[in-house]
Chains A and B, each alone.
Chain A
């Protein structure tokens, strides 16, 4: 997972602009990787063509939500909104194409001192879901999808335990 990190770390000594330049060259290498293996024939429009109906989403967008929540939330905060530790990814689809996004996820990034975005190149689950995460974040950015865990269109809402019983459970003790 940290295959590109040794060289990234060394760059900390270089001047700020030097760091940025070097990181970009990584991004471009990764971009080629991304273009060949991740996006594979689909263009960005298909990938970001999410569906949201009454707060419910298509399966790919849900998978993106799930992958984001499992892997990225611990640094980037809930629902793509950012945290004190890592930047918001809400507007990432405006600043980066899918290819650039996939490259950052694959290669990691260390522009600001002490801020490390790890490389996920060796994480099959993440790399398989890069498109879905981008799709989910795009739906968030466009304002079509709110916060929290969306349901999947056409699926029963049966997976959420306790939702309805709220009132009777809380507040009864003590």
Chain B
């Protein structure tokens, strides 16, 4: 009943608002397969290109055309944008330089921009001074600088058009995510989940930088922009008021995290934006209980569907109520249209931190599929499809085991079975392609006091490679690249890698999938089988995203290398081999044996015929 009802609403909504609010310029650019105009390739977050000049038959001839050093040593996430004006736009980690490079002149610098930023923001960036890239619309580039300044630049000359203040580093806030332009708004989240920030997503006017709305991840409904009578949860109204306040002890929601620092996607037809929120405040679950019992800590680790004009929440789905493992829920929500039991549905797929691959109905937030894509996952056995809640395995419940108790061998680690590295989806194969992490952890919660601007973590971690299941896979691997069927909830193929695969994936109509490795190899694989067809060693480990575009009839592949991020912090020295027992000296492969720091853009194309 309810399902049909919400369908009817959706259908009406569709007729009225179809494409009314998309940014017309950006939508046009996205529809042209020659351009790569948003970090995720399109509003739906698919990272798929219709270009097929570079394909399965000729990819072995792909060669580096030119390289460009960014001059910055820290981890380089995100990727280059191309909007058809002959220039490639790239960015760097702190100090967040922006370069416009001439595609026709081997990357000559057309203009560059370097803001003057307070380096005191650096220590409040938990996991390296990364930045996930630029956004573009109507001749403007947008970047969220580390020091919380959101900037609009003129794409012609790099002149600053406006600046907006999105946060305060003395409270532990910083910017790492890429903004998204929807209609006349620039949508921007915040980082600082390890510093007890109160997460928020904010819309700024694209012309002036004025703040239009801000929606918090916790606190009273008014602040969350949630109407308990209207906002849906598992297909029904939330019902209870102010859950963002009542599911926390005392005033703990004020430092309740839920920082949205990942990607935002957008459905122009439903006119809804989608994003996920991060971990709830301190990692010590005991400090988030109510009357000594686990509490949901809403709305941390939650997928939000919001109206981009007003910020009002249409539906919510909390993936992990009462987090005990730091499973930030920020992973990208891929908008995909799928067929389930003969029925056409508007899906939303997530390769999640938790090790589960989710499929939701993106009109009402109903949970359709939740299956493990990383089979070592053990914190929960499964999801209850009625309630949408995980069936937590008590043995790995760090709250049940207790404060100052070291709960061992929890899979996946706090890094997640997949972190921020965005996945790709091919509408031709119906599969999702993703780089994943195969790392487990020991987790020991401890009591922590809150001081503004200081880490508010409250747990220690010890990471280790995930054990192989039934001896399947490469010995000592810490990552894989997988093809995932989001409807069946099944892995189709998997390629193991020595290190976590921390780069964004690309799928193309040339029957290829691309990804980068932490050692620095850019690889092309057969989209059907995962067979490696081509690889190139870039100067440093890749945590950036592989993008593609076409200029003057030539298809290019481009990627930023430059090792770092949480991967660089956790894996540089290698991990302990759990088989060797406590205090072993022997380590699993150390990243530092393969790569060093340094940001470089490499641009590839096929040789002239």
Contact = CB atoms under 8 A, between A and B. Distances in A.
Given A149-B406, A160-B406, A82 B381 contact: no
Contacts of A150: 582-583
B573 A9 contact: no
Contacts of A163: 408-409
Interface stretch (A14-22, A25-33, A69-77, A93-101): A69-77
Contact of B585 (A69, A74, A116, A147): A147
Interface string A140-174: 00010111111100000001111101100111011
A63 interface: no
B410 to A, nearest CB: 8
Given A110-B119, A161-B401, A77 B573 contact: yes
Interface stretch (B216-224, B372-380, B552-560): B372-380
A42 interface: no
Given A70-B457, A74-B455, A171-B467, A9 B584 contact: no
A170 B471 CA distance: 12
B251 interface: no
A9 B375 CA distance: 47
| Size band of the interface chain B makes with A | 35 or more
A109 to B, nearest CB: 11
A20 B601 CA distance: 31
A84 to B, nearest CB: 3
A84 B568 contact: yes
Contacts of B405: 159-161
B75 A84 contact: yes
Interface in B392-421: 395-396, 401, 404-411
B576 to A, nearest CB: 5
Interface in B425-470: 442, 444, 446, 451, 453-455, 457, 460-463, 467, 469-470
B120 A5 contact: yes
A33 to B, nearest CB: 20
Interface string B568-595: 1110111110000011110100011000
Interface string B22-60: 000000000000000000000000000000000000000
A114 interface: yes
Interface string B358-387: 000000000000001001101001000000
Nearest to A74: B126
B463 A9 contact: no
Nearest to A172: B378
Contacts of A55: 582-583
B608 interface: no
Contacts of A118: 123
A163 B591 CA distance: 27
A78 B573 contact: yes
Nearest to B381: A173
B409 A169 contact: yes
B128 interface: yes
B584 A148 contact: yes
A81 interface: yes
B36 to A, nearest CB: 27
Nearest to B577: A147
A73 B460 contact: yes
Interface in A50-97: 55, 66, 69-71, 73-75, 77-79, 81-85, 88
A53 B597 CA distance: 38
Nearest to A76: B569
Interface in B99-148: 118-120, 122-123, 126-129
Contact of A160 (B73, B408, B457): B408
A2 interface: yes
Contacts of B73: 114
B95 A114 contact: yes
Contact of A146 (B404, B411, B454, B584): B584
B244 interface: no
A77 B454 contact: no
A115 to B, nearest CB: 8
B469 A70 contact: no
Contact of B72 (A75, A110, A114): A114
B94 interface: yes
Contact of B569 (A2, A75, A162): A75
A148 B410 CA distance: 16
B407 A162 contact: yes
A161 B407 contact: yes
Nearest to B411: A170
Nearest to A114: B94
A70 B378 contact: no
Given A84-B75, A146-B585, A173-B378, A123 B463 contact: no
The 9 closest A-B pairs by CB, nearest first: A84-B568, A81-B573, A146-B583, A118-B123, A55-B583, A116-B122, A83-B569, A162-B408, A69-B460
9 contacts: A70-B457, A74-B127, A77-B573, A83-B569, A85-B74, A114-B72, A150-B582, A159-B405, A171-B469
